[in-house]
Chain A
Amino acid sequence: MPRASTILLVVCILGFVFLYAPILSLIIFSFNESKLVTVWGGFSTKWYRALLEDPQILGSAWISLKVAVVTATLSVVLGTLAAYVLTRFGRFRGRALLTGMSTAPLVMPDVITGLSLLLLFVSMEQLIGWPAGRGMTTIIIAHVTFCMAYVAVVVQSRLADMDESLEEAAMDLGARPVRVFFDVTVPVIAPALVAGWLLAFTLSLDDLVVASFVTGPGASTLPMVIFSKVRLGVSPDINALATIIIAIVALGVFIASWQMRRAARHG
């Protein structure tokens, strides 16, 4: 009988094959000459050229990037505030409600978040005339609402691990709380802020369902365009797009882990 550790290793390798095989096949077939996504017809970069000449994809990618940058930045501000309040302020009225509201978005199904925010925007427009119509602004508000919950989780664990005596020392030396926060707390939790920003950026860039509900005419995000193409059937240019995204992500993760390792050596 093989040893338990051998079985464990085999399961683990199979698990990683399972995770990466579909992604590898996307990359390989993005260089396929044939329009049939699954039959190899020779090496070609024509789908990349087709992608760069597609104004619909480029336009929606630009919209998605703008939405994601604004969303990530706002989410870091709001999520950090929520995390700071929950870890440092002790008891206050509404604490239980804030805890619930900042964790529930993590598991809330997209269809519910999307529908409920759309109905809110429609009702607000009827009542107070804002937001007038829907588009990028409403997508950003919706994305911030669920992304800040993710940022709050990341920052909260960092704040909980941080040595509070640093903040207390600054306070004892007469620094105002705001100053302590920006000069002592922020530098210590900076890695969590960066991680939170990247997480919110990715989640926003990735979202199809919520954006589909709360968007308006003229504001189609990249996932919405991809989805409508994929739904109609095979489109090799989507493989090319996927490969570009995977390359950017892999590069980003590589740089981040290299930076972290360097920081760990010097720290």
Chain B
Amino acid sequence: MRGTVYYMKRFAGLILAAAMLCGLCGCGGAPADPDKAQESIQVIAMDTVMIFSVYGEKSTHAAYAAEDEMRRLEDLLSRTDEESQIFALNSAGGQPVTVDSEVSRLLNTSGMYSDVTGGAFDITIAPVVSAWGFTTDSYQVPARADLEELLTHVGMEHVHQSGDSVRLDQGTQIDLGGIAKGYASDRVAQIFAENNIPRATAALGGNVLAWGDRPDETPWRVGIQDPKVPDDRNTLACLLHLTDAFAVTSGGYQRYFEEDGKTYQHIIDPATGYPADSGLTSVTVVADCDRESLDGLPGAGTMCDALSTALYVMGEDEALDFWRNCGLDIDLVLVTADDRVVVTAGLADAYEAIEGSGYTYEVVS
């Protein structure tokens, strides 16, 4: 017969094993709701600061996947990186260059937005922007004759595309800076969808993606910076309540220089070669981000980016006409030089006036 000591030992061993198992299950489990898990990263890419704030079980993975994608696009679309396809295209000297289908799709899209905006958005404005020194931070006011000469190379008719083979006329240069971050935000939306991210915000400079809603299930609060206070991101002209939406702001205040008491800002009117002087200080274009139709192709984010630049060039009246007649599902917030904030009807319930900002607010339809 076995003694009690034996059973005591057996019992002790069992308790030990059971307790350890509990220990692992109890402690190894994830803390609380996986939707509450959050990853927030900042990335400097494409000449801007990007902030990804991602929620959900795969938040960390999605945030870093987004960072990797930004680096890839930066390498692919940069105008200054000598390894990039855009650089190759610009330095081909009139010879055709075969580009990735991704790049050729973006060029197609650029052409399309140039068409619908009557040339107010134009990726071939690049040499003119460079002449003003906005690409190198060595600002200068170019001679009118020089601008006239450069303008003869501006226009999508100088870009010849057949399939993935692209040829630029001699003297024509392209810069996808006006559309690249919008396209990047489309790709970010797709990465969020692939990782079942319930909610997130992605701020890519002037391009914002509000994915899902806030953790408290109210819409994301997206501020539009006051163009009069370019140095302070915390002074707002307007606040938008957005769920599943892209919002892109273009404004001269984002980059400018002063010479002889005159301010020159970075958005160039392709028609004149001079900085757009349309009475607007910033244009925000908002469009829904439809989770069901994200395929990674240039989408609503790209559209908002291209249109915000174009509408800024057009000015208030022309921009509102465009909004009424374009047949695109977009809404606008226009900030004018005479201290008005003009909001289109679709945002009537989604905008919030900023008290004490000095702006008057009006909704148009």
**Pairing of A with B:** no
* Chain A residues engaging chain B, CB cutoff 8 angstroms: none
* Chain B residues engaging chain A, CB cutoff 8 angstroms: none
